[in-house]
Amino acid sequence: MAASRVDVLHVYEDPGRQPGSHRVLVDGSWPRGLSREADDYDESMKEVAPRTELRRWYGHDLERFATLSRRYRNELEQPATKTAGQGLRKVARRRRFVLLIATRDVEHSGATVLQHVIEHSAR
Q: Is residue 98 within a helix (H) or strand (E), and if so which, with residue range? A: strand 97-101
Q: Is residue 1 part of a domain?
A: no
pTM, to two decimals: 0.85
Residue 23 β-bridge partners: 98
Residue 62 lies in a domain: yes
CA dihedral 87, 72, 48, 83 (to 10 degrees): 40
Structural domain harbouring 42: 6-121
- In angstroms and rounded to an integer, the radius of gyration of the C-alpha atoms of the chain is 14
20 within some domain:
yes
Number of domains the chain is built from: 1
Residue type, 78: Q
Q: With beta carbons less than 8 A apart as the criterion, state whether 111 and 103 touch.
A: yes
Tens digits of residue pLDDT in 43-96: 888 889 999 999 999 999 999 999 999 999 999 998 878 888 888 888 888 888
